[in-house]
Amino acid sequence: SNTKLDTTEMSNPYIVEDVCLLQDSPLRIFKCAQNGNAKEVARIIKSDPTRLHARNPQGQMPLHVAASKGHLVVVEVIVEAKADLDAVDNQGNTVLHLAIIAESPDIVTLLMKSGANVSVRNNAHMMPVHVAAQL
């Protein structure tokens, strides 16, 4: 017996709308920052600048995630959008701490030239220079 394909779901506009909403979920910017997708990060920021300040469960903003993964171009896009360079995550680490831990000298240089505070101490009372000395 032939089974007729049920096309009800395919023609349902709400299903398509859900997919679009899911694609633009608040978590998408974190995924793009983590994967180094600078173009998509720029698009998300342009459509909703508040996403710059979103936090993941570790207390990190998209800038923290991009820096910790060593994605220079994503960091540039986010810095240009005027993100808070001195925001700290749940461990008290700034983006500068994380860029040093990731051993990304280009990102460290960019952050310092952009005015990142080099004196912020994390929860272990370490400034970025202390973190660098331990590597």
Look at residue 26 in the predicted model and tell me its pLDDT.
81
Question: Which tokens hold the place of 130?
Answer: 């202390």
Q: Please write the tens of the pLDDT for every residue from 58-82.
A: 999 999 999 999 999 999 999 999 9
Q: Please write the tens of the pLDDT for every residue from 4-55.
A: 554 444 454 444 444 444 466 888 999 999 999 999 999 999 999 999 999 9
Q: How far apart are CA 72 and CA 89, in angstroms?
A: 19
Look at residue 121 in the predicted model and tell me its pLDDT.
98
Task: Give helix then strand counts, H and E, for the chain.
Answer: 8, 0
User: What are the domain boundaries of the chain?
Assistant: 13-134
**Better-scored residue on pLDDT, 13 or 89:** 89
Look at residue 25 in the predicted model and tell me its pLDDT.
82
Q: What is the CATH number of domain 13-134?
A: 1.25.40.20
Q: Say if residue 89's pLDDT is above 80.
A: yes
Q: Please write the tens of the pLDDT for every residue from 103-118.
A: 999 999 999 999 999 9
